[in-house]
Structure 1
């Protein structure tokens, strides 16, 4: 057989011895640092995963808090809008009541004023009628002494004048 294809026994023994020495040296000096590095990396990955889980839980808690705050804000907004609407309705109703009262007061004041003017006008007409009656009576008395027929003509004339004045 060709020595290049099949190795010799001595070469095999030296390779096994070399392999065992390299294995011993690796286990003694390199294996522990490699395993420690792998454990450290595994621990870092576990820590990162737990931190991610914590962050996820915190985000869920923050989201729940935000939803709660948003709900409270909506409730507060609705309450404020309701209060503002009630206040506006109250103001409108108060203004309407005041306007009605003011209108009723003005109508009553106008009615009283008209009544006073009417009474003043009637008093003036009565005074005028009394004055006219006194004037007629005075003139009648003056004429009565003179002539009966003249007195009648004068009274009729005064009555016609009085009717024309009243119209």
Structure 2
């Protein structure tokens, strides 16, 4: 393998100019070279316009969205801290007020206890009795509502599962069975 500089030197010994000889030796054609430069320039322009700029715009939009998200997250974090502080303050105020009410109730109860022990006990028993009655009534009302809702759901579910329309007798039987299971 002959080094290129020897070939270039051998080409320089002919009547052609040195540059032309080297260009001919390496197969360089000026018309092809300049046409390739023009095509390369067009490709660079097209890539810049249709690939590079849109990609940069997408990346810039993404960067902006990330910055907005970070700013929004920071704002939410600040608002959360403020809300937490306000919640703690409200709870402290409520606890203080509740403690004051408890202390006032204790002192009033002690005074009433000292003055009218029997009357207070009687009233307390009445209040407890009424509360129990109200609780029992609420319990029974809620149980009746639960039975009604479960009955409706059982009828609807059975109708959907079986795919047929249930008669009033079938519906009543299913509701009664569901109510028996709830009562148990």
TM-score normalized by structure 1?
Answer: 0.45
Q: Which has the larger radius of gyration?
A: 1
Q: TM-score when scaled to structure 2? A: 0.42
Bigger relative CO (Cα 8 Å, ≥ 6 apart): 2
